[in-house]
Amino acid sequence: MTARRDIADAGRVVVKVGSSSLTTDSFDLDASRIGMLAEVSCAAARQGREIVVVTSGAIAASLGVLGLRRPPTDLATAQAAASVGQQRLIAEYARAFATFGRSTGQVLLTADDLMRRAHYRNAQRTLTRLLELDVTPIVNENDTVATDEIRFGDNDRLAALVAHLVHADALILLSDVPGLLTAPPGTPGSVLVTEVRDPADLENVELSPRSRSAVGTGGMVTKLESARLATAAGVPAVLADVSALAEVLAGEERGTLFHVTGKRRPGRLLWLAHAALSRGSLVLDDGAVAAVTTGKKSLLPAGICSVSGDFVAGDPVDLLSENGLVVARGLVNFDATELPGLLGRSTKDLAAELGPAYEREVIHRDDLVVMQKGQ
pLDDT tens digits along 107-119: 998 766 776 777 8
If one counts every other C-beta atom within 10 angstroms of the C-beta of residue 357, the result is: 10
User: What is the pLDDT at residue 372?
Assistant: 59
Query: How does the average pLDDT of the chain come out, rounded?
Result: 86
Q: Are residues 24 and 172 in the same domain?
A: yes
> With pLDDT > 90 as the criterion, what percentage of the chain qualifies?
49
pLDDT tens digits along 67-100: 887 888 888 888 888 889 899 999 999 999 999 9
More confident residue, 265 or 88: 88
Q: 13, 209 in Cβ contact below 8 A?
A: no
CATH number of 151's domain:
3.40.1160.10
Q: Are residues 217 and 283 in the same domain?
A: no
Residue 275 has pLDDT above 80, yes or no: no
Q: Which pLDDT band holds residue 6 (cuts at 50, 70, 90)?
A: very high
User: What is the pLDDT at residue 42?
Assistant: 98
Q: Are residues 193 and 307 in the same domain?
A: no
Q: Are residues 283 and 265 in the same domain?
A: no
How does DSSP classify residue 10?
-
Q: Give Cα separations from 120 to 103, 255, 346 (angstroms).
A: 24, 31, 34
pTM of the model: 0.79
Q: Is the residue at 375 inside a domain?
A: no
Q: 12, 167 in Cβ contact below 8 A?
A: yes
Pair type for strands 192-193 and 104-109: unpaired
| CB-based contacts of 97, cutoff 8 Å, min separation 6 | 38, 41, 42, 103, 104, 136
Q: Are residues 148 and 174 in the same domain?
A: yes
What's the CA gap between 192 and 213, in Å, rounded? Answer: 20
What's the CA gap between 171 and 203, in Å, rounded? Answer: 23
Residue 9 has pLDDT above 90, yes or no: yes
| CB-based contacts of 179, cutoff 8 Å, min separation 6 | 192, 193, 194, 239, 240, 241, 254, 255, 256
Residue 124 in 3-state DSSP? Answer: helix
pLDDT tens digits along 38-57: 999 999 999 999 999 999 88
Q: Are residues 320 and 228 in the same domain?
A: no
pLDDT tens digits along 203-241: 777 776 444 444 444 578 888 888 988 898 889 999 999
Question: Domain of 197?
Answer: 2-269
CATH number of 317's domain:
2.30.130.10
Q: Are residues 101 and 245 in the same domain?
A: yes
Q: Are residues 139 and 210 in the same domain?
A: yes
In 3D space, the residue among 47, 33, 38 whose CA is nearest the CA of residue 99 turns out to be 38
Total domains, the chain: 2
Q: Is the residue at 260 inside a domain?
A: yes
User: What is the pLDDT at residue 145?
Assistant: 67
Q: What is the mean pLDDT of residues 153-169?
A: 86
Q: DSSP letters of 40-68?
A: HHHHHHHTT-EEEEEE--HHHHHHHHHT-
Residue 152 has pLDDT above 50, yes or no: no
